[in-house]
């Protein structure tokens, strides 16, 4: 996708400034970043991003660890950080099969609960969490990762116990709790045709049932060769006729050697650390740095091309040191998936991304 990279010097602009005519640009934050413990990175976030997502603090296990026991201390600070800085605040996520405590699906004796009990728990959770941040959180990942790679519905405890209409119920409860909030469907590997077809069918079904799905989230846990720019392009084009926006919600580029053939961003995967899987413990060679920059530029060129459909691009983390990819799917590696290095300095990839923005490509009219 022929973007030519400048090899020296960094753009003097910021991400949010560069993409202001294209889409919101964001990052997922950890607790140290929004509570002020990590003030250097907090300053970087305020300067560069106009939307934020919570890495963990709004997941079920964090806000609702035990029956009848909610804990909002960290989530409140996350939301306050976004409000103070005038950012579009994302809620992530309400219904998922991971990071949800076992008790949610069990009775006192450890047996599976019935449909009605689980629906009551779901409604209580969604109305409490969404209700608390009504008017503050602008959009919610209502259901995360409901699909299998072949596009069929994942046999999660939600589906097993409630049935396929658990999705409809989740969106209805969320809408009742905050009618103004945007409601999203979020998943990985939607760039692969079978899973994408499943997502299209799922969204069409929800729409036919009266749910307004504002956007589909492509998580964007990408590698150096997947998805191809053409695959990303056709994915965005395929969702657009549904009348939903497309967002990249968890963008990062895993450029370490593959530990598995699988492209699935399945969080439960875990492979043993071997030296050949961790080649850059002393820094990234310049040539590899440049490949990463080019890869980011190629993907952003597609996103900018679709700026009318793409409403948001969010990175999963701010600096390389914070990324979950240092520990997934192999624990203890040195990963370089983001635009800012461990010291918070912009990498060549930052400059490469900035150069794809329309603002910079539109010649300024002489005054
Ligand atoms: C999934 C989830 C995120 C996060 C990442 C890995 O993509 O949606 O919340 O857990 O995995 O960090």
What domains are defined for the chain?
Answer: 15-360 (3.20.20.80)
Phi, psi (degrees; rounded to nearest 5) at 61 = -60, -25
Ligand 1 within 6 A of CB of 144: yes
Mean pLDDT, the chain, whole residue set = 94
State residue 260's pLDDT score: 84
Q: Measured from the CA of 56, which atom of ligand 1 is nearest? A: 9
Q: What predicted TM-score, i.e. pTM, was given to this entire model?
A: 0.94
**75-116 pLDDT tens trace:** 999 999 999 999 999 999 999 999 999 999 999 999 999 999
User: How far is the C-alpha of 7 from the C-alpha of 9, rounded, in Å?
Assistant: 7
State residue 367's pLDDT score: 52
Which is catalytic among the residues 33, 55, 145, 191? 145
Q: Can you say whether the dihedral through the CA atoms of 122, 123, 125, 126 is positive or negative?
A: positive
Q: Say how many residues make up the chain.
A: 367
Phi, psi (degrees; rounded to nearest 5) at 225 = -125, 5
3-state SS of the chain: helix, strand, coil percent to 5?
40, 15, 45
Q: What is the mean pLDDT of each run of 10 residues along the chain (367 residues)?
A: 42 91 98 95 97 98 97 98 98 98 97 98 98 98 98 98 98 98 98 98 98 98 98 98 98 94 84 94 96 98 98 98 96 98 97 89 57
Provide long-range contacts, Cβ within 8 A and 24+ apart, for 259-263: 259/329, 259/330, 260/329, 263/189, 263/192, 263/223, 263/226
Ligand 1 within 6 A of CB of 351: no
Ligand 1 within 6 A of CB of 191: no
Ligand 1 within 6 A of CB of 265: yes
Among 351, 333, 260, which residue's Cα sits nearest to residue 3? 351
Q: Give Cα separations from 12 to 28, 84, 221, 289, 333 (angstroms).
A: 23, 25, 28, 20, 32
- What interhelical angle do 166-177 and 115-132 show, nearest 10? 30
The tokens for 226 are: 């997947």
Q: Is 176 a catalytic residue?
A: no
User: How far is the C-alpha of 173 from the C-alpha of 96, rounded, in Å?
Assistant: 15
Q: Looking at 173-274, which runs of residues are DSSP E strands?
A: 182-187, 215-218, 221-223, 245-254
Q: Are 125 and 166 in contact (CB under 8 A)?
A: no
Q: Is 80 a catalytic residue?
A: no
């Amino acid at each position: 996708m022929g973007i030519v990279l400048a090899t020296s010097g960094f753009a003097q602009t910021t991400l949010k400034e560069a993409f202001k005519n294209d889409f919101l640009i964001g990052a997922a934050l950890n607790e140290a970043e929004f509570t002020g413990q990590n003030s250097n990175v907090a300053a970087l976030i305020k300067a560069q991003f106009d939307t934020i997502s919570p890495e963990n603090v709004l997941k079920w296990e964090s806000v609702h660890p035990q029956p009848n026991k909610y804990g909002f201390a960290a989530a409140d600070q996350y939301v306050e950080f976004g409000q103070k800085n005038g950012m579009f605040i994302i809620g992530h996520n309400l219904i998922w099969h991971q990071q949800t405590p076992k008790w949610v699906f069990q009775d006192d004796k450890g047996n599976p609960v019935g449909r009605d009990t689980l629906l009551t728990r779901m409604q209580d959770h969604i109305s409490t969490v969404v209700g608390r941040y009504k008017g503050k959180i602008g959009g919610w990942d209502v259901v995360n990762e409901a699909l299998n790679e072949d596009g069929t519905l994942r046999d999660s405890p939600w589906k097993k116990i409630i049935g396929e209409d658990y999705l409809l119920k989740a969106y209805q409860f969320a809408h009742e709790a905050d009618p103004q909030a945007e409601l999203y469907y979020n998943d990985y590997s939607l760039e692969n045709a079978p899973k994408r077809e499943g997502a299209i069918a799922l969204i069409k079904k929800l729409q036919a049932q009266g749910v307004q799905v504002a956007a589909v989230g492509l998580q964007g846990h990408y590698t150096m060769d997947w998805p191809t720019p053409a695959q990303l392009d056709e994915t965005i084009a395929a969702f657009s006729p549904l009348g939903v926006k497309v967002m990249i919600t968890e963008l990062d580029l895993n450029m370490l050697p593959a530990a598995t053939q699988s492209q699935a961003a399945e969080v439960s995967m875990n492979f043993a650390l071997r030296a050949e899987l961790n080649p850059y413990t002393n820094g990234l060679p310049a040539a590899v740095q440049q490949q990463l920059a080019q890869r980011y530029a190629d993907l952003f060129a597609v996103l900018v091309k679709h700026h009318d459909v793409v409403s948001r691009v969010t990175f999963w983390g701010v600096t390389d040191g914070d990324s979950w990819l240092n520990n997934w799917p192999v624990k203890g590696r040195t990963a370089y998936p983001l635009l800012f290095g461990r010291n918070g300095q912009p990498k060549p990839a930052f400059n490469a991304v900035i150069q794809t923005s329309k603002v910079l490509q539109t010649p300024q009219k002489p005054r």
